[in-house]
Chains A and B, each alone.
Chain A
Amino acid sequence: MTPPKDSPAGKALRQSMAWIHAWLGLLAGWILFAMFLTGTASYFRPEITQWMQPELRPAVVPPGQAAESAIRYLQRTSPDDLQWFIYLPDDRTAATRVFARAKPNPDAPPAKRRPEFKLDPATGQPLEARDTRGGEHFYRFHFQLQIPHPWGRWLAGVCAIFMLAAIMSGVITHKRFFADFFTLRWSKGQRSWLDAHNVSAVLALPFHAMITYTGLITLVAMYMPWPVLANFSKPAEFNAQAYGAPPEGKASGRAAPLLPVGPMIDAAARTWGGDTPRTVVIRNPNDAAATVTVLRSTAGRLSARPDSITFSGATGERLYQSPPSGPAIATAGVMLGLHLGHFAGPVMRWTYFLLGLTGAAMVGTGLVLWTVKRRKPNAAPFFGLRLVERLNIGAVACLPVGMAAFLLANRLIPPGMADRAKLEVATMFWVWFGLAALSLLRPARRAWADTLALAAAAFTAIPLVNAMTTNRGLVPSAVTGDWLFVGFDAAMLGVAALCGLAAWRAWPRAAVAAPSKPRAAKIAQPAAALEETHVA
């Protein structure tokens, strides 16, 4: 295909955009790869958490029953608290989660945040299971990067804006979208890496653009609070008006029994056209001024705006309902919903997962392309090239092994061990960074292949170790119809196969084989010509 004639200004724009694209991608690429990979895993956050607590097999009950049983537990354990938060189970979460906030004591320093409990939705009894961060770890890491607040979120934000600019500059750089969609030439050295980068980028471009922009919107209040400050002297008013936060009333001091919340939940569900509630917040329980706020589930809804209805806990009267949102707030709610993907059913969730993997592939291939493009035959690599290559190995090949180690640690650390949840998280980072350090001892090509092969082995080990340490292995799960565990093990084997394929492709034999003349000629293209090829 002959590229269309380009004006000098257009050519200059494309060349400058290609330059910016390469550097934006490089500077943020390693963190973006980690954000993409862990964020993609987070689409199965509740399922990962369920897999990481194999002891739990609670019964599925209606939300009203789960709320009532949780309230019975809270009435027994902390009837005089300021607030009870009850996170109801749904078809993706097995347990009810409860968290109670004590009344502040003006004579004592602020108390530490109390732990959250998991309850059996049917009985309201506390569930005993191994302590783990579960899928929450990948989710939190993908925007906090395990760096103290607020720096992790700021760093993630900088990387996200780099990504957005890289996408925009990448689009301007390209002229052959349709052709690139169908172009993937294997075993052609740099050409193959460029094709792989183009295919993964072009194939899912709308997804990448959407997920990047909406990712920024999820933390917009932190990154860009200024428009709110120009319109509200008290920023909390913005939240109250935008999201309909219910008023936080004070206790009256007069005792009054808390009415059953089941009818309130049913009334809220009727108002929302049958949508189920996800969270119940009870303020000042057993007081005449008690309130019961029911928050709408975001499952099955495109907008992630948290609608709510507040009832009097003493009389059952409807006190407050979040107002309908205007176009801008609705847009922001939909953007948030698109990023989180809570609306997605199983098919759409897997689609999100696969598109997320193409995002990781796009960043990963772009990082590799940066080095391949700058390596010259018969020339020792300069320091920057060697540094980038090693960082690429550390990010692209070693992180998956770290993630597999996190899951393996969940099965191998004794369930009753103190601080085991922290130890699981620490295992991921020790393995990730330790492996990156160890890979320095091997030639780069060999380090790629070894580490990817290790990733394949680690992911293959997950179903095996699961079968050896629990009674929910692949075979018994298939027999009993435990499809979550079957799906998880199958997904791990799928990821192992991908890593194995990558290891096989990276194996050094290809490097030592004598290249054919045409291939050698292509590798030897001058950098300027290659840049031109990319631009064209």
Chain B
Amino acid sequence: MSRNRPRQTTWPDAARMTARAFTTLFGSYAAAAGIATLLARLLPGSRVEASAWGMILSFLLFAGFGLWAFHERRLLVVAPVLWGAAAVSIGTTFLLGVRP
């Protein structure tokens, strides 16, 4: 009886997949949180409303980034985009400081 076994996974494959999964889960969260927070900080109007819009939209960004991170084949594109977006948005929010 033959074994119904998928193709053997090599160590480099596993390492790439681990890096992609890590970037997808945490990088997408960081990018979504950073952009939603920057949006909330910059939106005109009341602080409460701006914060709420940021929170409401954040999950859509998170899911969208996560899907793109697995659709784009080049991890060397995915990782810089997601971690870069997170770093820029979070850094900008820090520089702006808490809304007075």
Contacts and interface: CB of A to CB of B under 8 A. Distances in A.
B78 interface: no
Nearest to A220: B55
A455 B99 CA distance: 56
B3 A230 contact: no
B93 interface: yes
A227 B43 CA distance: 11
A328 B98 contact: no
Interface stretch (A132-140, A163-171, A410-418, A425-433): A163-171
A331 B56 contact: yes
Given A17-B71, A20-B70, A168-B63, A379 B36 contact: no
A227 B49 contact: no
A331 B52 contact: yes
B64 A328 contact: no
B38 to A, nearest CB: 8
B82 interface: no
B10 interface: no
22 contacts: A19-B70, A20-B70, A161-B59, A161-B62, A164-B63, A217-B59, A220-B56, A221-B55, A226-B33, A227-B52, A227-B55, A227-B58, A231-B48, A231-B98, A242-B52, A326-B48, A328-B50, A328-B51, A329-B49, A378-B2, A379-B3, A382-B6
Interface residues of A, number: 46
Nearest to B46: A326
Nearest to B70: A20
B3 A382 contact: yes
Interface residues of B, number: 41
B10 to A, nearest CB: 17
A232 interface: yes
A380 B2 CA distance: 7
Interface of B: 1-6, 25, 33-34, 36-41, 45-56, 58-60, 62-64, 66-67, 70-71, 93, 96, 98-99
Contacts of A231: 40-41, 47-48, 50-51, 98-99
B48 A227 contact: no
A158 B21 CA distance: 13
B89 to A, nearest CB: 10
Contacts of B52: 227, 242, 326, 328-329, 331-332
A332 B71 contact: no
A238 B36 contact: no
A67 B56 CA distance: 36
A346 interface: no
A238 B51 contact: yes
Nearest to A382: B5
B56 A381 contact: no
A299 interface: no
A179 interface: no
Interface string A224-266: 1011111111000010011000000000000000000000000
A525 to B, nearest CB: 14
A213 B59 contact: yes
A216 B49 contact: no
B70 A232 contact: no
Given A17-B67, A224-B33, A380-B1, A230 B56 contact: no
A227 B37 contact: yes
A293 to B, nearest CB: 20
7 smallest beta-carbon distances between A and B, as pairs? A227-B54, A227-B40, A379-B4, A328-B52, A231-B47, A226-B37, A230-B41
